[in-house]
Structure 1
Amino acid sequence: MNAPFPPLGRVPRIVFLDRETLAPAVTLARPAFAHDWVEFDRTAPAELMERARDADILILNKVRLDAEAIAGLPRLALIAVAATGTDCVDKAACAAAGIAVSNVRGYAKASVPEHTFALILALARAIGPYAADVKAGAWQAAGQFCFHTHPIIDLHGRRLGIFGSGDLGQQVAALGRAFGMEPVFAGRKGAGEARPGYMPFTEVIETADVLTLHCPLTLETRGLIGAEEFARMGRRPLLVNTARGGLIDEEALIAALDAGQVAGAGIDVAMPEPPPADSAVMRLAHHPKAIVTPHVAWASMEAQQALADQLIANIEAFAAGRPVNVATP
């Protein structure tokens, strides 16, 4: 094996704090330099400092590292986040302490858009309700070749409003075009005039038949869609969120579903995760017009393997003195 990398001058200790966030079948190769590897299925806040204390490199997905924790980890050189989002890490504190933060990017370009359309199609075609009716014997009770207890809509010819124009949003737009939809990208909320290639935020809210979120959670986007936006949804759209919890006011969404302002909702994210049993997200999970999945839009086996491969490549690049995918404050 290679010698330890120059920034440390010793065999580095690599600690993966929440290996269970990746499926057991995912192959996680070991870095191609001498190292000491330790992994834990999951790490509770009370366990963090004891497990991370001697780490030179920390791998984590959703474990939170605040400024206080970072200050107590003097050996730490790299935090390798096994996800795209790095909001679990205080990056400003890392920068001040000279700790690099890396993330993985572009690994779910197929998985998230496909899950998005799985939710859209399931809602538009009433897949869940019809499957439940069949199990309950409704087909036999109908006495004919079909029955019509739930409305079905075609996607062809519908307007698809997309919030977020990055790789995922662009791929969702491409899938929408394949279904004969009209994809439009929403401009910034509150902006006086939309940039070229974008439609004003309010116009998208008012005219889209399907709305789907693919933007990060920031101070600007928190609560992006709430009661005021639902009240303007004249097309009774389907609403899908595979991006981040906190982008939608879920209490307002339940009210909008009940009032008929929204025809259906597909939710894959929450805040916190897992959501409390009495949370609005869990009430949505039992709502007849909603589908809730447990933050798995990203998690096809192909996407998880791509994530794992890139994660190790990030660590090896850092060890070679050529850090990549560096996340900045």
Structure 2
Amino acid sequence: MPNSPAPMKVVFLDRATISPQTVLKALSFPHTFEVFERTPAESVAARIADADIVIANKVRLTRPDIESAKRLKMIAIAATGTDNVDLQSCAERGVVVSNIRNYATHTVPEHTFALIFALRRSLVAYRDAVRDGRWLQANQFCFFDFPIRDLSGSTLGIIGDGALGRAVADIGRALGLRVLFSAYKGRDDMGPLYTPFQEVLQASDIITLHCPLTPATRDLIGETEFLQMERKPLLINTARGGLVNEHALVDALKSGMISGAGFDVVTQEPMPSDHPFQAILSHPGFILTPHVAWASDEAIQGLADQLIDNIAAFCNGTPANVVSTK
């Protein structure tokens, strides 16, 4: 009787980044499955030393970690972004890296508009005022301490034209917004479907970011860009921390260069006690959520299903959602 193949060892380094109610489908091939809720950087190499397949969401997998894992064949990223993995080292070793795609096309746009609605109608400011007794003090059926603006007829500038940016545009048009897709910063040759970056800054009542964080997009919006925002727009970032210079954002909000900001991401997560945003957490025009735009129950379950499907496809010899180093 021929020998059965040795079971593959699968290691999940940060299961706690996926909600506890999310179900991971069973893997159909012989395997062992070792799960860690969290993995500090100094423990990565030891935990993947004899792994064939590594699952990670935000844990960094550096060149030394990858080179020390002699059996490593695949890294399955439980997210879309792969900036936590040394892709060049994987390419040199022949390690396949797969990521998750198009799972958040409802949850992120919906969260984006939740922030827009809340800021445009000052919902948090009014909620806090009622809690603090202002309604009783007003001595009438309503009060007008904070601005309330309709969305219909306003201009929505979208930076990023992938699946999420397009989904945001669809919602915006349905609400009566004029939608502008921004050309890449410094480019004015992208054709009539795109509006020059500077013009988007000048013409938009709301600007929302849906682009990846790369060397070209880091600090995409800083002091210079805030000065160009003639209509004092809302600025929404449900994409990546680092796209907006955070010190400049604080200054812009405090000085009135923008009318409000809704962020779901910061450069360092969790946000440390000395982060610039600590100074504006109580500002009525600022909302910060803890990187949960992606995290509807439906979206996370879809992510988990796709994660296991990616691993199954690799083991069947037909890798899916493979990330290129190019």
Q: TM-score, normalised by structure 1?
A: 0.96
Q: CA offset at residue 96 of structure 1? A: 0.2
Q: Is the 8 A contact 1:159 1:184 kept in 2?
A: yes
CA separation of 1:284/1:74 partners in 2, compared to 1, >3 Å: closer, same or farther? farther
Q: Does 1:37 align with 2:37?
A: no
The 5 A counterparts of 1:16-165 are 16-165=12-161
Counterpart-to-counterpart distance in 2, 1:31 and 1:195: 46
Structure 2: which amino acid aligns with 1:109? T
Give yes or no for the alignment of 1:14 onto 2:13. no
CA distance in 1, matches of 2:234, 2:191: 25
- SS for the counterpart of 1:101 is strand
Task: State yes or no: 1:193 paired with 2:157.
Answer: no
Counterpart of 2:97 in 1: which secondary structure? strand
* 1:234-262 deviations in Å (ceiling 9; x for gaps): 00000000000010001001111111110
Per the alignment, in what secondary structure is the counterpart of residue 115 of structure 2? helix
- Match of 2:241, SS state, is coil
Contact 1:162-1:212 within 8 A present in 2 as well: yes
Instruction: Write the distance in 2 (CA, Å) between the matches of 1:281 and 1:58.
Output: 34
Q: CA deviation at 1:289?
A: 1.8
Counterpart residue type for residue 259 of structure 1: S
Contact 1:111/1:297 (8 A) holds in 2? yes
Q: What letter corresponds to residue 279 of structure 1 in structure 2?
A: H
Q: 1:271 aligns with which of 267, 271, 277?
A: 267
Which range is displaced more, 299-308 or 185-194? 185-194
Aligned counterparts, 1:232-251, within 5 A: 232-251=228-247
Partner of 1:262: 258
Number of aligned residue pairs: give it.
Answer: 323
- SS of residue in 2 equivalent to 1:314: helix
Alignment partners' CA distance in 2, 1:102 and 1:162:
28
Contact 1:184/1:198 (8 A) holds in 2: yes
Of 215, 227, 233, 1:231 maps to: 227
CA distance in 2, matches of 1:67, 1:168: 31
Q: Tell me the SS of whatever aligns to 1:269.
A: coil
Deviation string, structure 1 residues 262-305 (Cα, Å, up to 9, x no partner): 00000101112112111123334333321000000000000000
Runs of 4+ more than 2 Å apart: 192-196, 281-288
Q: Is the 8 A contact 1:284 1:292 kept in 2?
A: no
Does the CA contact (< 8 Å) of 1:284 and 1:291 recur in 2? Answer: no
Question: Does structure 2 retain, via aligned residues, the 8 Å contact 1:13–1:57?
Answer: yes
Cα pair distance change 1:216/1:72, threshold 3 Å: same
Of residues 217, 223, 246 in structure 2, which corresponds to 1:221? 217
Cα-to-partner distance string for 1:163-209 (whole Å, 9 max, x where unaligned) = 00110000000110111001110001011434230000000000100
Q: Which residue of 2 aligns with 1:286?
A: 282
Give me the whole-angstrom Cα distance separating, in 2, the residues matched to 1:199 and 1:327: 30
Q: Which consecutive unaligned segments of at least 5 residues does structure 1 have?
A: none
Does the residue aligned with 2:236 lie in a helix, a strand or coil?
strand
SS at match of 1:272: coil
Local SS of the residue matching 1:199: coil
In 1, Cα distance between the equivalents of 2:82 and 2:286? 29
Which one-letter code corresponds to 2:46 in the other structure? E
Specify the SS of the correspondent of 1:117: helix
RMSD between superposed Cα atoms in Å: 1.2
Q: Normalising by the residue count of structure 2, what TM-score does the alignment of the two structures yield?
A: 0.97
* Equivalent residue number for residue 208 of structure 2: 212
SS in 1 for 2:54: strand
Shift of 1:54: 1.2
Q: Is the 8 A contact 1:265 1:290 kept in 2?
A: yes
For residues 279 and 304 of structure 2, what CA distance do their matches in structure 1 show? 34
